[in-house]
């Protein structure tokens, strides 16, 4: 439904034709490809999703999941590191229904690629395990078609390098960076029209072009679709129960509704790291949801992301639901985006929280594209201890919380962790980041599965309270201990667990006032992370106990104590207000 008027309004406010393709905005767009390198990397996820769904649902004579994934990529895409990560992964996985057409024109924005880019890309992709071929003339459609058909029988992902001339037809600017992202200008446009023999008005499309497009693209596509729809119709007759499951997952719904009753129940006082509690939730989900799958960037047994009932997914075992992404955090995020965009799957990926910086650009595209991808980030604070500042996240929570359309949840214990996963698995248009501990946390008496969806709630209260302590994650236990000490000293304290600032901010004013009454000005927020997130909740009269410097290398408790996360310091801070 992109009209000629929409094309005329290219890059204008309110049009359906933004400056870069947006999957949520324009019909026919398969992916918001985003910054260079992410498009080709996202396509790897499409190809992997197709392979999994084909292995799971296709029957003899019924190849209902049977498509190739095509990419058109340029020189800049192959310079980006994420494309190297994803291509290495795709080659190892032998994703043979992925075909990349490389628009090789030797020009980038700053000039000729020879100034910055001298490797043999095809040789590099050969080394990755790809099938590669060169088409020397980008106007030779027959050669391109032959290359594509040959690629389909290679048994490998394919890279077809097609030599082209950027700005072809422009007498004075073709083959230069002057036509890379800049208009030709009136004079050069006129010269180009003359060179190409194009005598039509701006935006005028000759009738024969419409006719040719209808015959060779629209009609051919409709015939292919009709044949596939007929196959699906017959499949529904032959396999009605499986077909119903497919209808549900393709519509973005689970064939089975996962509820609180499906998740483990933990008794008060039970102690377990929330990363382990997350693994409990992952395995619960895997038992209930047939197309739930994911993995980790070489940290599955640290992130606790492994589905115990399944093995590793590879070219020989495409139905297994554990994915080893290798040490490729950025590619992991883009591949997850591709799998989510493809449809039919509920996906997750994990790494250490400090490495979320490597994934962040992909998370941003998850949020922009409204993809319910789940990111599992463990080792969430200075409690990492001996590994020191390079591996102790500080600024990461504040950074991710600042991203639109992203829900960040840092659960206080095993009970809140199950609720975090329930939220992630029932989200439809928002990605979720679940931030988890390495160290054990005690299940608190006041934590509540159902209330986590509100983002914040009361976990400890004193009648007539005049002080509120807000905390997340591992600091909730510390906040409760400090509150009890203050009560022993005559104080009246409320403790609020706020696992998700985004979910709390989405509540109505009445609920917010009930949890954080505006009359209560003495407020302290506690989090072993940067303080920026918290001033909106504590106000000018409150205080934040956080970390605005990098961490340190020492035993975890030593680091925690030296950074002021002790009952004594919290009590002193509250009394000073």
| pLDDT tens figures, 398-438 | 999 999 999 999 999 999 999 999 999 999 999 999 999 99
Statement to judge: residues 284 and 404 lie in one domain: yes
- Beta-bridge partners for 69: 98
Do both 200 and 98 map to the same domain?
Answer: yes
436 is in an annotated binding site: no
Count the Cβ atoms, other than its own, within 10 Å of residue 180.
17
**Is 76 known to sit in a ligand binding site?**
yes
Question: In 3D, which of 504, 509, 521, 403 has the Cα closest to residue 458?
Answer: 504
What are the catalytic residues?
329
Whether residue 230 lies inside any domain: the answer is: no
The contacts of residue 3 (CB under 8 Å, 6+ apart) are: none
Residue 488's CATH number? 3.40.50.920
The 8-class DSSP code of residue 65 comes to S
302 labelled ligand-binding? yes
Cα(276)–Cα(439) distance, integer angstroms: 10
The four Cα atoms 391, 472, 530, 281 give a dihedral, to 10 degrees, of: 40
Predicted confidence at residue 255, as pLDDT, reads: 76
**Same domain for 398 and 471?**
no
Q: Which residues pair with 71 in a beta bridge?
A: 100
| Whether the Cβ atoms of residue 468 and residue 521 lie closer than 8 Å to each other | no
Look up residue 155 and give its DSSP letter: S
Residues 331 and 461 in one domain: no
Is position 75 annotated in a ligand binding site? yes
In 3D, which of 469, 486, 487, 456 has the Cα closest to residue 543?
469
For residue 143, the Cα-to-chain-centroid distance in whole angstroms is: 37
**In whole angstroms, what is the distance from residue 65 CA to residue 49 CA?**
10
Asked whether residue 473 falls in the same domain as residue 435, the answer is no
Whether residues 56 and 36 share a domain: the answer is yes
Q: Provide the terminal-to-terminal Cα distance of the chain, rounded to the nearest Å.
A: 60
Give pLDDT tens digits for 198-255.
999 999 999 999 999 999 999 999 999 999 999 999 999 999 999 999 999 988 887 7
Calpha distance 181→165 (Å, rounded): 15
How far is 82 from 190, CA to CA, in rounded Å? 40
pLDDT for res 271? 98
Q: Are the beta carbons of 285 and 307 closer than 8 angstroms?
A: no
Residue 26 lies in a domain: yes
Domain end (from 391, 418, 442)? 442
Task: Give yes or no: residues 284 and 190 share one domain.
Answer: no
Among 19, 15, 45, residue whose Cα is nearest residue 30: 45
The residue range of the domain holding 537 is: 453-576
Is the domain of 417 the same as that of 510? no
- Annotated binding residue 423: no
Across 330-348, average pLDDT: 98
On average, the pLDDT of the chain sits at 97
Is 216 labeled as ligand-binding?
A: no
Q: Is 180 annotated as a binding residue?
A: yes
Q: How many domains does the chain have?
A: 3
Spatial CA neighbour of 37 closest among 104, 83, 101, 97: 83
> Against a cut of 0.95, is the pTM above it?
yes
438-463 pLDDT per residue, tens:
999 999 999 999 999 999 999 999 99
Query: In this predicted structure, what is the pLDDT of residue 257?
Result: 86
pLDDT digits (tens, 9 = 90+) for 376-396: 999 999 999 999 999 999 999
Residue 236 belongs to a domain:
no
**Shared-domain flag, residues 337 and 362:** yes
Are residues 207 and 58 part of one domain?
yes
Q: 566 near 545, Cβ under 8 Å?
A: no
Residue 112 lies in a domain: yes
Report if residue 438 sits inside a domain.
yes
Q: Could you tell me if residue 533 is inside a domain?
A: yes
Same domain (yes/no): 394, 326: yes
Model confidence pLDDT, tens digit, residues 59-75:
999 999 999 999 999 99
| Whether residue 181 has pLDDT greater than 90 | no
Q: Please check if 107 is assigned to a binding site.
A: yes
Rg, C-alpha atoms of the chain:
27
């Amino acid at each position: 439904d992109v009209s000629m008027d929409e094309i005329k309004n290219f890059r204008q406010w309110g049009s359906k034709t933004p400056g870069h393709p947006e999957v949520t905005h324009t019909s026919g767009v398969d992916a918001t490809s985003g910054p260079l390198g992410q498009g080709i990397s996202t396509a790897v996820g499409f190809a992997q999703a197709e392979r999994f769904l084909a292995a799971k649902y296709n029957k003899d004579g019924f190849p209902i999941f049977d498509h190739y994934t095509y990419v058109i990529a340029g020189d800049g895409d192959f310079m980006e590191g994420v494309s190297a990560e994803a291509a290495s992964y795709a080659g190892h996985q032998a994703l043979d229904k992925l075909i990349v057409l490389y628009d090789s024109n030797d020009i980038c924005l700053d000039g000729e690629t020879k100034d910055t880019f001298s490797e043999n890309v095809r040789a590099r992709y050969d080394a990755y395990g790809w099938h590669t071929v060169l088409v020397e003339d980008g106007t030779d459609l027959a050669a391109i078609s032959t290359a594509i058909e040959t690629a389909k029988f290679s048994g490998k992902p394919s890279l077809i390098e097609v030599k082209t001339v950027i700005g072809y037809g422009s007498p004075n600017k073709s083959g230069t960076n002057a036509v890379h992202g800049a208009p030709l200008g009136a004079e050069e446009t006129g010269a180009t029209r003359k060179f190409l023999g194009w005598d039509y008005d701006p935006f005028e499309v000759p009738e024969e072009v419409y006719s040719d497009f209808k015959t060779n693209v629209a009609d051919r596509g409709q015939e292919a679709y009709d044949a596939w729809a007929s196959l699906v119709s017959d499949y529904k007759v032959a396999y009605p129960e499986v077909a119903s499951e497919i209808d549900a997952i393709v519509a973005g719904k689970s064939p089975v509704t996962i509820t609180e009753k499906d998740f483990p129940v933990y008794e008060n006082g039970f102690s377990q790291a929330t990363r382990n509690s997350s693994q409990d939730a992952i395995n619960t989900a895997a038992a209930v949801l047939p197309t739930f799958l994911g993995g980790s960037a070489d940290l599955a047994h640290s992130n606790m992301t492994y589905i115990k009932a399944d093995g590793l997914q590879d070219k020989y075992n495409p139905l297994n639901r554990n994915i080893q992404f290798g040490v490729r955090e950025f590619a992991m995020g883009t591949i997850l985006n591709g799998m989510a965009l493809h449809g039919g799957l509920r996906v997750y990926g994990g790494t250490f929280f400090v490495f979320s910086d490597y994934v962040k650009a992909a998370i941003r595209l998850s949020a922009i594209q409204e993809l319910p991808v789940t990111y599992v980030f463990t080792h969430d604070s200075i409690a990492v201890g001996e590994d020191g500042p390079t591996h102790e996240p500080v600024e990461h929570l504040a950074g991710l919380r600042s991203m639109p359309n992203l829900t960040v949840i840092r659960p206080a214990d095993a009970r809140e962790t199950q609720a975090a996963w329930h939220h992630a698995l029932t989200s439809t248009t928002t990605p979720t980041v679940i931030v988890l501990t390495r160290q054990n946390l005690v299940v608190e008496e006041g934590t509540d599965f159902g209330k986590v969806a509100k983002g914040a709630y009361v976990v400890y209260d004193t009648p007539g309270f005049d002080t509120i302590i807000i905390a997340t994650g591992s600091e909730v236990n510390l906040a409760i201990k400090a509150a009890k000490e203050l009560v022993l000293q005559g104080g009246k304290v409320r403790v609020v667990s706020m696992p998700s600032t985004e979910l709390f901010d989405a509540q109505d004013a009445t609920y917010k006032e009930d949890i954080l009454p505006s009359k209560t000005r003495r407020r302290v927020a506690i989090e072993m992370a940067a303080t920026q997130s918290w001033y909106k909740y504590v106000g000018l009269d409150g205080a934040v106990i956080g970390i605005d410097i990098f961490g340190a290398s020492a035993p975890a408790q030593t680091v925690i104590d030296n950074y002021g996360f002790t009952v004594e310091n919290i009590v002193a801070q509250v009394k000073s207000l």
